[in-house]
Structure 1
């Protein structure tokens, strides 16, 4: 890459490696979103029990919890393109397996859960490696814009994926899984075209110290710790994705297509926000901005839980998605710009275990709590909890509150003289 870097939001798209990685991520995310739509609908159709929707989340959380730190170690010690290609191959196998199960009209949930567990193994290695890959294909100056496009394209896919999944779901779950397999295959074909140059360094053997290096770095950097912790609690308490099949069928009275748009609505708001952030990244007062965004997320979730109007529910999910996009943008920038390259995979793994894992654990929490107290009270309790934690973070993480620029987080990790 030339050292003369052209500035501007669109300049990073001129890099072929970045375009290939971006499109590979786009296709894979659509595949994941389509899988999420089909699995939730299929499981609820089989049992009609909210708790089973919770099990879908839990079975995907456990592999991320157990293997997430190892995924970060692998990302920092092996060729990241090779790791990502292997992960995509496992995802393809899982898509095919789910399609076969759907065509067989399986009447039990456990075979689906087993395949989802294997899918989550791939995610445990894919997530930290994909996040760490950015530093290999763009310059430091272009990272904020690259993160903006990285998250925006992901959100665009989370709009297209559920909407497409809802449409294809009319034909049957097996067709959704087959489409996801095709998209994953295309994602692999793009990923294998990327060539990256890595600085030669001694490969660190697997050890407890190596696996927990990212944890120690995050603990020593209170800004990143605060950002990850705040995002974790917001996702854990305020997430409603697992309950959307119930809202679609029992509360709002819409079918598969309406359900697909409910799944897409958060991403619609996120895409609009992400397009702005890709052109005009947040460069000042990022700590206060993140805390404020999580508060907006909590309020939007609360209104969604109280709504019985389809249009209002869509609007509140879109607002929640826009707020979440701001939070994700700040967190990704903090991790990319405040972490040494040799530790980016490990720190990204910590973020994945906390954030990606909490998505799945949050789905289990939502399903279990909804089975206990009801769907609407479950959402209200989660939204109020999110607002309480957001207020507490203002006091508990003063370093995050005072952070003005991403580079401030890097200085926060340096030992004082």
Structure 2
């Protein structure tokens, strides 16, 4: 039965401001990811070069994540959110140099590519802090009984922005070229900051007279995750499933060389999985999952792998779009289950550290998955590498499901 009870969380003005700021920020990030994948591939014509974008970001992001969690739990969160937002604006602005002046300064394609990798390396450090901040702020803004609904709405906002960003990015590249698309991306980041300014300050939960030592603080967060088997199992499943099933990273190659649909078709294909995720999360906002969340999580992970196999085998644009959209629907269910479990089971004083570890799993699966896809494509060919990745994702879901009884029985 459809219920509009979950939508009442949107009556909270501060929560709406947080979601609005995140919406414009995620649009910017997705447009940027779309633009960089297309730009680098046009410069190099090498699938591995796309994978190196993810590697350039994930190394500093994962390396900084545990420390970022400690800092988030021991400092005022609104100030950190704004600092990270403006750091992104500053760093991405440097990409305007090769975009507008590359030919005039006689930059080669490889020089521009290396410059992009360098900028993305530094944005990875910002991401280590920014990624856990918004989820860790939500429980202080909404009531605890509304937290599951707030988590679902947060994911719906994220995916709506992802769909918009991927699609708009592809269209803007075709319509106004790469350099002016970068200007739009930077403007979107600045708009996000206006909403963040309206948030209330969130000071840390202080338990001691002095701040704890960094390593002791990090260890406390890690120990909590290891003890909480449902969180650990769900994160491991997501990490390995998406790591092996990172077909999205190869979409520029499929659009350009296999399906031959150009930048417009690339934008839609790039948004297909997010469209599916957005549709299912909107549905789950009205019809929440009531039971058997662990079994559902395992089933959707296996289905995700099958969709990736289908995408790798497809030679038809509409069929490829359908497989990616269905994979996004299954991934959307997984996102809601995992996000709700993490929020409900984590105490306030540990949220930054737990969300930072969660971000490591997410970044490891997405960005390392992007790199893994590039390497596999180089070795086996693009289509064959995607099929192999889908098969490994399916195998991972079966293995974790058969060896993790707590995850199978998980409910909230």
TM-score bucket of the superposed structures, by smaller chain: over 0.9
Cα pair 1:147 1:278 within 8 Å, conserved: no
Alignment of 1:39 onto 2:44: no
- Select the residue among 21, 45, 48 that pairs with 2:45: 48
- Name the counterpart of 1:126: 130
Q: Distance in 2 between matches of 1:147 and 1:255?
A: 36
Query: Could you tell me whether the CA contact under 8 Å between 1:9 and 1:280 is conserved in 2?
Result: no
For residue 249 of structure 2, give the secondary structure of its aligned residue in structure 1. Answer: helix
Question: Distance in 2 between the 1:177 and 1:211 partners?
Answer: 37
Cα distance in 2 for residues equivalent to 1:239 and 1:176: 25
Gap change, CA 1:316 and 1:186, over 3 Å in 2 = same
Contact 1:287–1:401 at 8 Å: present in 2 too?
A: yes
Match of 2:94 among 88, 94, 97: 97
2:372 alignment counterpart: 365
Change (3 A) 1:300 1:102: same
* Correspondences of 1:4-403 after superposition (within 5 Å): 8-105=5-102, 106=107, 107=109, 108=111, 109-170=113-174, 171-198=176-203, 201=206, 202=208, 204-403=211-410
Q: Check the 8 A contact 1:73/1:206 in 2, yes or no.
A: no
Aligned residues, how many? 400
What's the CA shift string for 1:225-255, capped at 9, x where partnerless? 1000000001100011221110001100011
SS at match of 1:142: helix
2:248 & 2:127 partners in 1: Cα distance?
18
In structure 1, C-alpha distance between the alignment counterparts of 2:25 and 2:301, rounded to whole Å: 27
Moved more, 106-115 or 254-263: 106-115
Conserved 8 A contact 1:335-1:344:
no
> How far did residue 95 of structure 1 move?
2.1
Query: Is there any run of 5+ residues in structure 2 with no aligned partner, and where?
Result: none
Q: CA RMSD in A?
A: 1.4
Which aligned runs of 4 or more in structure 1 are off by greater than 3 angstroms? 196-200
1:9: Cα distance to partner? 1.4
Q: TM-score normalized by structure 2? A: 0.94
Query: Secondary structure, in 3 states, of the residue corresponding to 2:358?
Result: helix
Q: Normalised by the size of structure 1, how large is the TM-score?
A: 0.93
Aligned match of 1:415: none
List per-residue Cα deviations over 1:146-182 (Å, max 9, x = no partner): 1111001111111110111111102221112111100
Distance (Å, rounded) in 1 between the aligned partners of 2:326 and 2:337: 17
Q: How has the CA–CA distance of structure 1 residues 208 and 198 changed in structure 2, closer, same or farther, with 3 Å as cutoff?
A: closer
- Offset of residue 37 of structure 1: 0.9
Is the CA contact (8 Å cut-off) linking 2:70 and 2:214 kept in structure 1?
no
